[in-house]
Amino acid sequence: MAHLDTQETVQAGRKFIKKAMKLPMLELEHEQHLARSWRDKSDENALHELTAAHVRLVVAIAAKFRNYGLPMGDLVQEGNIGLMQAANRFDPDREVRFSTYAGWWIRSSIQDYVLRNWSIVRTGTTAAQKSLFFNMRRLRARINDIGANMTHESRTYVANELGVRMEDVLNMEGRMEGSDRSLNATISDRSDDGGTTEWQDLLVCDRDLPDTEVSDKLDTQQRVNWIGEAMEDLNEREVTIIRARRLSETKVTLESLGQKLGISKERVRQIEHEALQKLRGSLIAKTNGDPHHAGLI
């Protein structure tokens, strides 16, 4: 998915980062005071001072994700969202520095943003896929596997290191080696008719052509009408049996129908046979003697 930085946004982002890096770090006691003021009194000034002092942490974490082709300004912005989430959940009574706690939230927020925007196809929907997405390149570099395709040994190493299936490694390898491609992208200068050829021109559609679909729809409706008209020639008991035995999604047994109608199952079979003969004769008559349509029932 393409993301472009304009000159104005780049300059604004650099100015923001430069200003954030100049802010002093917080002492432990002051940090806890600010966290308690926000937690207990909803002091927005305390929240602002607490988060502003840790924007440099956001910048440092965001810089680690620059190789995914997304603007640094967007990464920092998503990291700031994670920073705010951390501030809302931070418990100053625990002996943990805010930077340690906030780091997880910042990284998680940035990772989710990268996964959502790296491709128009959703990537990393499971824990295994997410781990592979963010660690595969690093592990390949560790063993100096720099080829276009991974070797079997490299895939095995990655799978063992991350505790994932070989199948997951293969799928993510193909996903990361591929790139989004527009169906309107030109793949040749000229086609047989003198125009350009696009990727979408090579897609095969297994569906019927529109005229065939319309024809089938009309034919189906005509058959339904013929059967409805033919059913009018049957008596009430014959209609009940045909609907239950031939026109229902769940076929009713002869025995259950016999119990319902107060007759034997053999008699139900006989009535069904007689009714089918009537329907076939009626359908042949309505279709100008074409016996093919008699097989509709």
What's residue 1's pLDDT?
47
Given pLDDT bands bounded at 50, 70 and 90, which one contains residue 104? very high
Structure confidence by residue, pLDDT tens digits, 121-136: 666 677 888 888 888 8
- Distance CA(227)–CA(214), nearest Å, equals 20
User: Are 70 and 164 in a shared domain?
Assistant: no
User: Are 220 and 276 in a shared domain?
Assistant: yes
More confident residue, 211 or 61: 61
- The rounded percent of the chain whose pLDDT value lies above 70 is 87
Residue where a domain terminates, one of 93, 118, 143? 118
Nearest alpha-carbon partner for 170 in 202, 132, 213: 132
Does any domain span residue 67? yes
Residue where a domain terminates, one of 131, 157, 179? 179
pLDDT-wise least confident of 31-40, 204-213, 285-294: 285-294
Whether residue 188 has pLDDT greater than 70: no
Mean pLDDT across the chain, nearest whole number? Answer: 84
Which CATH number does the domain housing residue 233 bear?
Answer: 1.10.10.10
Whether residue 146 has pLDDT greater than 90: no
CB 286 within 8 Å of CB 226:
yes
Structure confidence by residue, pLDDT tens digits, 74-98: 999 999 999 999 999 999 998 899 9
Can you give the residue range of the structural domain that contains 243? 210-296
Number of structural domains the chain divides into: 3
User: Are 92 and 142 in a shared domain?
Assistant: no
User: Are 168 and 246 in a shared domain?
Assistant: no
- Distance CA(72)–CA(70), nearest Å, equals 6
Q: What is the mean pLDDT of residues 172-193?
A: 68
For the chain, how big is the Rg over CA atoms in Å? Answer: 35
Burial of 42 (0-12, 13-18, 19+ CB in 10 A): exposed
Which CATH number does the domain housing residue 15 bear?
Answer: 1.20.120.1810
**Is the pTM of the predicted complex or chain greater than 0.75?**
no
More confident residue, 191 or 167: 167
- Distance CA(149)–CA(177), nearest Å, equals 8
More confident residue, 82 or 143: 82
Whether residue 106 has pLDDT greater than 80: yes
Long-range contacts of 258-265 (CB under 8 A, 24+ apart): 261/237
Whether residue 26 has pLDDT greater than 50: yes
Whether residue 290 has pLDDT greater than 70: no
User: Are 57 and 109 in a shared domain?
Assistant: yes
Structure confidence by residue, pLDDT tens digits, 108-125: 999 999 988 877 666 667
